[in-house]
Chains A and B, each alone.
Chain A
Amino acid sequence: MKKWVPTVIFLAVAVVLIVLAIVFLPVSKSVWVWIAALLTLAIFSILYRDNPIYRIAEHIFVGLSLGYGLAMIWHLALWQIALRPLFVEGRFILIIPIAIGLLYFTRLIPKVSWLVRIPISIALGLGSGIAIPLIFQATIFEQTKASLVLPEMFAPGNPWPGIWAIILIIGIVTTLAYFFFSRKEKSVLSPVSKVGIIFIMLGFGATFGLTVMSRVSLLIGRVQFLLREWLGIIAQ
């Protein structure tokens, strides 16, 4: 079979379906809804296999999103917080970050291209410096504190919250043991880390199950769009 045959068949079926839809269904009369519907179908076509229709949609998507990003970066970042304050409000101090930002362009000039490391190292230095104490405070301290077992969890008649809290601690400690990199094959930590992997897998399973349900509702949303807004088969 020639390579283009499935595409042609797909297109032919699509055209027939569209004509049938226009004749028999209360389809949308908005050009934009049509565009949205066709793009939706084009993306779904990847479920069959890679094909020119998907490739067109993909390239439109990539181009549009980049154009959108450019417009947003200009309006919300470059103009809003850099160029307008500099040129309109006269905050000349902003020349410094703008100059540093412009160093990114040295990437395009081989001789001085190392200068691109300056904005990167500034961003990383600031980022790492801010991150270290913040991770200690917001993650390590907070998570440890939240995991402590407290006497009030053992209410008379209902000790379960306390028991689960103890199991939670066991889970955390054994999970930490699993990540112990200097543990040797036959050390005491090995069986402990095996318990850890049980917790990890049960936990991952729970996350998986929870996410499945929310993803299915996303699909339902798209199908509803096609049937309701576009074809008008189900009532608005």
Chain B
Amino acid sequence: MKRRIPLTLTLVLGIVMMIQFFIPHQFSQDFKNTALEWLRVIGGFAFIIGLASFITHHYTKIKHKKEGWAYSPIALGALVVMAVVGLIGRSPNMNWIPVTVQGQQISVFTYLFSNFFTHMMIPLGATMFSVLAFYIASAAYRSFRAKSLVSILLLVAAFVIMLAIIFYNVLPLGDLGEWLLSVPNMAAKRGILLGASLGGIATSLKIILGIERGYLGGTK
């Protein structure tokens, strides 16, 4: 039963949704819309599980004084502060403890929430993202030492594109760059996409038919 119920659900819902695609009638559209809405509702609850895992993970760290346990209170603290500020501050018509910012009266929770977001989360994310510029340089450097023929091809194509962009009005590489992007790049992308689509369809089919059941977690 522990396996049969989930597998049956997947089988039935999968087949129903495949048939739904071919029925333009209203009842079929309504069914799909309801299904998608419910899916969003269901998905919302999964987040709590993640939250529980996060809290347990850090709590155990602190409890057993594992390496780096001293940082866990920081993470937990940031979580609690942001959650409280966000849960209250994002409510509509929120007006608790008003402060005046640029002539507007807003709740201190809303104020903190928006500032935590724009002056902490955004710069943190943007900086993490921009570290890529350094990494991409070191990755490019490594491919300089390319050994095989195929990796030399990759390197040459990359350099043609970079030069074409940097010296777009100096070097006559624009057309070659354009060609690399619209012919070999497009061909590779489409080839991979077509293959991966078939792989995706086959995997979906295996899931619906219950052949692929790794997602149930293990084999029992």
Residues of A that sit less than 8 Å from B by CB: 32-33, 35-37, 39-40, 43-44, 46-47, 55-75, 77-78, 81-82, 94, 96-98, 100-102, 104-105, 107-108, 114, 117-136, 139-140, 143-144, 147, 164, 167-176, 178-179, 196-213, 215-216, 218-219, 221-222, 225
Judge whether A164 and B191 touch: CB under 8 Å: no
Judge whether B42 and A97 touch: CB under 8 Å: yes
Q: How many residues of B contact A (CB 8 A)?
A: 124
On chain A, the residues within 8 Å of B204 by CB distance are 127-129, 131-132, 135
B134: min CB distance to chain A, Å: 6
Give Cα A74 to B136, complex, Å: 37
Judge whether B75 and A59 touch: CB under 8 Å: yes
Residues of B that sit less than 8 Å from A by CB: 2-3, 5-7, 9-18, 20-22, 32, 35-52, 54, 68, 71-72, 74-87, 89-91, 113, 115-134, 136, 140, 150-151, 153-162, 165-166, 177, 179-195, 197-198, 200-201, 204-205, 207-208, 215-217
Judge whether B201 and A72 touch: CB under 8 Å: no
Judge whether B87 and A70 touch: CB under 8 Å: yes
The number of A-B residue pairs with CB atoms under 8 Å apart is: 392
Give Cα A179 to B151, complex, Å: 18
On chain B, the residues within 8 Å of A199 by CB distance are 184, 187-188, 191
Report which of A94, A196, A219 forms a contact with B133, defined as CB distance below 8 A.
Answer: A219
Judge whether B207 and A164 touch: CB under 8 Å: no
Judge whether A125 and B13 touch: CB under 8 Å: yes
B194: min CB distance to chain A, Å: 6
Judge whether A71 and B41 touch: CB under 8 Å: no
On chain A, the residues within 8 Å of B50 by CB distance are 66
Of all A-B residue pairs in the complex, the 5 with the closest CB atoms, nearest first, are: A175-B191, A171-B187, A71-B86, A205-B157, A67-B82
On chain A, the residues within 8 Å of B45 by CB distance are 78, 98, 101-102, 104-105, 119
Judge whether A64 and B82 touch: CB under 8 Å: yes
Judge whether B113 and A179 touch: CB under 8 Å: no
Report which of B35, B130, B181 forms a contact with A206, defined as CB distance below 8 A.
Answer: B181
Report which of B11, B12, B37, B157 forms a contact with A201, defined as CB distance below 8 A.
Answer: B157
Closest residue on chain A to residue B9 by CB atoms? A121
Judge whether B41 and A97 touch: CB under 8 Å: yes
Closest residue on chain B to residue A198 by CB atoms? B153
Judge whether B87 and A74 touch: CB under 8 Å: yes
Known A-B contacts A202-B180, A205-B154; the reply to A125 vs B17 at CB < 8 A is yes
Judge whether A209 and B159 touch: CB under 8 Å: yes
Judge whether B188 and A67 touch: CB under 8 Å: no
Report which of B9, B115, B126 forms a contact with A125, defined as CB distance below 8 A.
Answer: B9
On chain A, the residues within 8 Å of B68 by CB distance are 55
Judge whether B133 and A205 touch: CB under 8 Å: no
